[in-house]
Structures are given as structure tokens and as C-alpha cells.
């Protein structure tokens, strides 16, 4: 398997920050309430997760106890930090040492990442929170990308969450730049109890996807041919959002919920889990109201597609368009993965 289709991603953070819980929710379809029974990660747990047929995510969940963190940064540094595509670092939003010892460990990880991946020193400046991803591809000329998740934000009062994240981002970015790290960083506030976790991880996964710009072009064509208002593409197993397109002519007249995609991911994952418990596998979903029609169905062996249309469009018409589009997108997927 080529290096382009195999991506090494580090999941790091101090013990108790929530790394293993979010991994179980995203990749093992566990409910948030069930993660309380999970134990702490010992040393490094490596798992290989397949996306879109040929893309393999090598996810390294690194134990966050002080002894393990010290080992990762010294004896295991070349093993852990070499050839990394992306680093996902988790901070506990309620930690009393958030901007002291917790940040010190993070800065040490950035230093190790830079030393083991020299190209990261020339990476682009960080993107602002919530902004589009950098144009240069992480792991190539831009070096590894760093995603910083300020986790357990549900414990922070709602009216203080935005300011806490902004203050944290400014302070950590300042310290990272002062320490000589010039690589790209993006910051997100997350919680296992709402859709913010899916939003952050969808952005992470989008950085791993090949030919994403080309995929959006084809989705736009499908949107036009289907007379749809919006199309969302999900990865089949995790139900993370891969890409989405919206009819610009209608978007000006519609108040879209900014978190709609992540909320759909959360609801569908919960619904699929409920189906599996009664031994009734999830296949597709159709919703019809006087205002819109929505069809969620498999598009390729690795993806699901959600097609939303306004007006008097029959579900059968959307289902037919999805069925007719499957061979094209399956071929596009294979080309993108180099198969």
C-alpha cells in the first residue's frame, strides 16, 4: 500500500482528557454514557481504520500518564512522532493545569513533531478557528497538521464557551510560536455529549481524504441534475461528514442550522445502533414533509449520501437519482484511491 493511502495520526493528551472515549464513540459506535466504563490507555494502542476502500488510517492512541508521556518524548520519540500526517491533541477544558503543565507537554510534543518531521518547520500559518482548511496538503509540503481539541466543553457555562476557547487558542498559539513551531494548527471546542465532537472529527477526516476538490465538483453536478437543495456525503462506518454542497440560489432564502450535518451524524449513528440491537440492519431513510423531502441511502460501498429537496419532489425520484449515480461515484472513488 502506498504512503499516500496510508495516514498515520497521533491521538495525544494528558490522562483523563477523554481521548479513548471519543475514539470509542467515533470508531466503535459506542454511546457517550457507555464510555464511563472504559479504562485508561496503556502505552500506545494502534488501530487501523479503513476509509473509502483504499485509504487506511493508522490511529495511535497514546497513553497520557506522565510516565508514558515522558517515554513518548524521549526513548520512543522517533517511533511515535516520525512520518506523522496529523496530530490530534486533547486538552481537558476543566483542568486546573490547562495553561501550565498541560500546555508544557503539548509544546514538547510540537517540538518532537518538528524534529522528526523537518518539513513541518516551513508549514503555513495557523487557520483561524472555524475557518476553511489550509490549501497546502498536510504531510506533503506543509508538514503535519495539528488539531487541538479543547474537550469537555459541556462543563463550561454556555455563555463562556466561545471566550474560553478563543483565550485558550490565543495563549497556546502564542507559546507555540515563541517556542519556534511554525506548523499549521486548528482549534475546536468539543464534548462527547453533543455534535461538536462530530464536527471536529469530520474536519480531521477531510484532511485525510484524497481528491476532495474533485469530489465536490461531482457532487455539485449531482445537485444540479437532481434539482436538490443540499447534498451531504458521509463515511459509511463512522458517519462523519466527508463533503457537502448547497444550492446557492436557495441558501440566501433559507435559514440553515450551522450544526445540521453533525446533528444528523449523531442521530443516524444512534438510530443505527438501535437497529443493530434488534438485529435489523440499517439500510436507508426517507423523510417527507410539506416543506421538503430527504433521502439518506448508500451511494458507494464506503459512503452514504443525503439528498434534500424542497417542493413537490417525490422520494422515488431522489432514490432513482441515487441509484443511477452509484456507478459513477464508485468509479470516481476508485480513481481517487488509485485503484
- Domain boundaries, given as residue ranges, for the chain: 3-208, 212-336
Rounded to two decimals, what is the model's pTM?
A: 0.81
Please report the pLDDT score of residue 297 as a whole number: 95
What is the strand order of the sheet 303-310 is part of? 241-246, 230-235, 303-310, 292-300, 285-288
Pairing of strands 145-151, 185-189: parallel
φ/ψ (deg, to 5) at 195: -75, -5
Query: What SS3 state is found at 297?
Result: strand
Tens of pLDDT, residue by residue over 90-139, are: 999 999 999 999 999 999 999 999 999 876 444 444 443 444 444 333 44
The contacts found for 123-127 with CB under 8 angstroms, 24 or more apart, are 123/182, 123/183, 123/184, 124/184, 125/182, 125/184, 126/173, 126/184, 126/185, 126/186, 127/184, 127/185, 127/186
State the distance between the two ends of the chain, measured CA to CA, in whole angstroms. Answer: 11
Query: Would you identify the CATH topology of the domain 212-336?
Result: Beta-Lactamase (3.30.450)
**DSSP per residue, 59-73:** EEEE--SHHHHHHHH
Alpha-carbon distance values, 204 to 58, 150, 220, 319 (Å):
13, 14, 22, 30
- CATH number of the structural domain 3-208: 3.40.50.300
Tens of pLDDT, residue by residue over 29-78, are: 777 777 666 666 666 888 887 766 567 888 998 988 888 888 889 988 99
Task: Give the integer Cα–Cα distance in Å for 13 and 45.
Answer: 14
Which segment of 38-42, 138-142, 269-273 scores lowest on mean pLDDT? Answer: 138-142
Please report the pLDDT score of residue 125 as a whole number: 40
- Please state, rounded to an integer, the average pLDDT across all residues of the chain: 83
Query: What SS3 state is found at 302?
Result: coil
Residue listed under C-alpha cell 459506535: 29
Would you say the CATH fold of 212-336 matches that of 3-208? Answer: no
Please report the pLDDT score of residue 3 as a whole number: 54
* Residue percentage of the chain with pLDDT more than 70: 84
Amino acid at each position: 500500500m502506498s504512503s499516500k493511502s496510508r495516514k498515520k495520526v497521533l491521538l495525544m493528551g494528558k490522562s483523563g482528557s477523554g481521548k479513548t472515549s471519543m475514539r470509542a464513540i467515533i470508531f466503535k459506535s459506542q454511546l457517550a454514557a457507555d464510555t464511563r466504563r472504559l479504562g485508561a490507555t496503556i502505552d500506545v494502542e494502534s488501530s487501523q481504520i479503513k476509509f473509502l476502500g483504499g485509504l487506511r488510517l493508522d490511529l495511535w492512541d497514546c497513553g497520557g500518564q506522565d510516565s508514558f508521556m515522558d517515554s513518548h518524548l524521549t526513548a520512543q520519540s522517533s517511533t511515535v512522532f516520525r512520518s506523522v500526517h496529523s496530530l490530534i491533541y486533547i486538552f481537558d477544558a476543566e483542568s486546573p493545569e490547562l495553561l501550565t503543565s498541560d500546555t508544557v507537554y503539548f509544546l514538547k510534543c510540537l517540538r518532537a513533531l518538528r524534529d522528526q518531521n523537518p518539513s513541518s518547520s516551513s508549514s503555513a500559518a495557523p487557520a483561524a478557528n472555524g475557518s476553511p482548511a489550509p490549501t497546502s496538503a498536510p504531510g506533503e509540503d506543509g508538514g503535519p497538521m495539528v488539531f487541538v481539541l479543547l474537550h469537555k466543553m459541556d462543563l463550561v457555562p454556555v455563555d463562556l464557551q466561545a471566550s474560553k476557547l478563543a483565550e485558550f487558542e490565543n495563549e497556546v498559539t502564542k507559546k507555540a510560536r515563541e517556542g519556534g513551531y511554525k506548523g499549521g494548527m486548528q482549534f475546536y471546542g468539543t464534548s462527547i455529549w453533543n455534535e461538536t465532537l462530530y464536527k471536529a472529527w469530520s474536519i480531521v477526516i477531510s484532511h485525510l481524504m484524497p481528491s476532495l476538490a474533485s469530489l465536490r465538483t461531482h457532487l455539485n453536478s449531482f445537485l444540479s441534475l437532481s434539482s436538490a437543495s443540499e447534498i451531504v456525503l458521509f463515511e459509511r462506518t463512522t458517519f462523519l461528514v466527508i463533503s457537502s454542497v448547497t444550492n446557492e440560489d436557495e441558501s440566501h432564502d433559507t435559514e440553515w442550522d450551522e450544526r445540521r450535518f453533525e446533528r444528523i451524524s449523531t442521530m443516524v449513528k444512534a438510530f443505527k445502533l438501535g437497529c443493530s440491537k434488534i438485529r435489523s440492519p440499517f439500510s436507508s431513510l426517507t423523510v417527507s414533509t410539506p416543506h421538503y423531502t430527504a433521502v439518506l441511502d448508500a451511494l458507494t460501498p464506503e459512503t452514504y449520501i443525503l439528498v434534500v429537496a424542497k417542493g413537490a419532489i417525490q422520494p422515488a425520484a431522489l432514490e432513482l437519482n441515487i441509484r443511477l449515480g452509484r456507478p459513477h461515484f464508485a468509479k470516481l472513488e476508485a480513481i481517487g484511491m488509485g485503484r
